[in-house]
Amino acid sequence: MERALQDIVKVCCYGCGALNAHGLQIKSFWAGDDVVCAWRPQPHHIGHPGILYGGTIASVVDCHCIWTASAYAHRAAGVEMDGALRYPYVTAALTVNYRKPVPIDQAIDLRARVVDFGERKAIVQCKVSSRGVLCAEAELVAVRMPVSQPVAEASA
């Protein structure tokens, strides 16, 4: 079975790190030209009763879009992710537009795509759905971090 990007390169980030036992541990996968993620909130991730907290939506979107940018950069360069990130990115700006309340007791589905890609910067758009209903849309500006050699973030 295909491995999640976050299981190929294990980092310590609260949102996406396989090495962060307290974190959200999202798992992102290529799906054609998109990168997708299904993530199940815990009951305490509520905003209002029964409703997933918007800050947590922003969090999973942030990480998922950053992995989308990095995966895209690797694919564009014809380089496999193989335990290290040759093209790591950080978030310069994140915008989330919240359309509908998201039920807390369901997984949410994220679908992201790079819509603009330059030498230093990538723009990633992401849709967040619950049971097929679009609940939020986001755009993230990802900036590539300079690396002298490929590194696993977790070892930094």
Residues at the contact surface with a copy of itself, assessed by CB under 8 A: 11-15, 20-23, 42, 44-49, 53-56, 58-60, 62-63, 90-98, 153-154, 156
Nearer to a copy of itself, 1 or 44 (CB): 44
Nearest-approach distance from CB 20 to a copy of itself, in angstroms:
6
Nearest-approach distance from CB 44 to a copy of itself, in angstroms:
4
Nearest-approach distance from CB 78 to a copy of itself, in angstroms:
26
Nearer to a copy of itself, 3 or 14 (CB): 14
Nearest-approach distance from CB 131 to a copy of itself, in angstroms:
20
Contact between 102 and 40 (Cβ < 8 Å): no
* Rounded Cα distance, 147 and 88, in Å: 8
Nearer to a copy of itself, 32 or 146 (CB): 146
* CA-wise closest residue to 47 among 132, 136, 112, 126: 136
* Rounded Cα distance, 125 and 140, in Å: 6
